[in-house]
Amino acid sequence: MEDMARLALVEQSVRDSDKFSEILYELLRHINSILENPHDYDLRTITGDFLKKCLEYEALNDYLKYVGFQPVADTLTFPKEQSLNKVRIAQVTIERKLCFCYGPLDQSKTSIKSTKSQPQTKKMKLTPANILKTMNPLLLKIQSLFNNMIKYEDEELQDLARRQIPIVTLQLMAIDRVRERQRKIKTGEFKGHDLPFDIALLMELINWFKYKFFSWVDKPPCEGCGGETVFAGTSLLKTETETCNLELYECHKCERETEFPRYNDLRTLLRSRRGRCGEWAGCFTLLSRALGYDTRYVYDVTDHVWCEVYDYDSNKWLHVDPCEAVMDAPLTYSHGWGKKLSYVIGVSRDDLQDITWRYTTNHKEVLKRRNLCDEMELILGIMALREHRQRQVSDARRRYLAKRALEELVQLMVERKPEDKEMHGRITGSKDWREKRGEIGNVKHSHTFEFTQPGNYSIRYYPGTDKYRISGDSGEDELVVGWEAGAYERKGVFRKTELDWRQVYLAREPDTDHGSVSWRLNTNSEHVFKALTVQASTTVFETGHVDWKIKFDEKDAVSAKFSESPTTFNADFTTAVISVELTGGTGDVAWQHAQIFRQSLDAKSSGFEILATVAKKQ
Q: If we measure between CA atoms, which residue out of 370, 347, 371 comes closest to residue 357? A: 370
- DSSP assignment of 95-111: HHHHHHHHSS--HHHHS
Q: Which of 350, 582, 597 is nearest to 497 (CA)?
A: 597
Distance CA 108, CA 66 (A): 28
3-state secondary structure 231-246: EEEEEEEECCCCEEEE
Q: Is 323 a catalytic residue?
A: no
Strands 503-508 and 538-540, how do they pair? unpaired
- Torsions phi, psi of 41, nearest 5? -70, -20
Please classify residue 186 by burial: count the beta carbons closer than 10 Å to its beta carbon, then call 0-12 exposed, 13-18 middle and 19+ buried: exposed
Nearest of 152, 439, 438 to residue 281 by alpha carbon: 152
Phi-psi category of residue 338: left, alpha or beta, with phi > 0 → left and psi -120 to 50 → alpha: left
**Other CB atoms within 10 Å distance of the CB of residue 522:** 17
> Is-catalytic flag, 466?
no
Number of Cβ atoms within 10 Å of the Cβ of 238: 9
Q: DSSP letters along 22-83, please?
A: HHHHHHHHHHHHHHH-TT-GGGGB---HHHHHHTTSHHHHHHHHHHT-EEETTEEE--TTS-
**Residue 250 phi/psi, 5° resolution?**
-115, 145
String of b and e for 328-351 (b: at least 16 CB within 10 Å)? bbbbbbbbbbebebbbbbbbbbbb
Angle at 445 between CA 443 and CA 448, to 5 degrees: 145
435 within 8 A of 425, measured Cβ to Cβ: no
Angle at which helix 17-36 crosses helix 2-14, to 10 degrees, equals 140
Q: Are 464 and 600 in contact (CB under 8 A)?
A: yes
Q: Which residues does 296 contact at the CB level (< 8 Å), separation at least 6?
A: 285, 307, 308, 309, 310, 317, 346, 347, 348
**DSSP code of 429?**
S
Question: In angstroms, rounded to a whole number, what is the distance separating the alpha carbons of residues 35 and 88?
Answer: 8
- CA separation (Å) from 333 to 24, 49, 323, 361, 372? 46, 53, 13, 11, 20
Q: Say how far apart CA 241 and CA 272 lie, in whole Å.
A: 14
Catalytic residue from among 321, 354, 420, 466: 321
CB of 556 closer than 8 Å to CB of 467: no
How many whole angstroms from its chain centre is CA 81?
Answer: 27
- Whether 321 is a known active-site residue: answer yes
CB 614 within 8 A of CB 572: no
Residue 379 CB-half CA count within 13 A: 4
Question: Are the C-beta atoms of 515 and 562 separated by less than 8 Å?
Answer: no
Catalytic, out of 30, 304, 527, 593: 304
Q: Which of 251, 277, 283, 307 is catalytic?
A: 277
Active site residues: 277, 304, 321
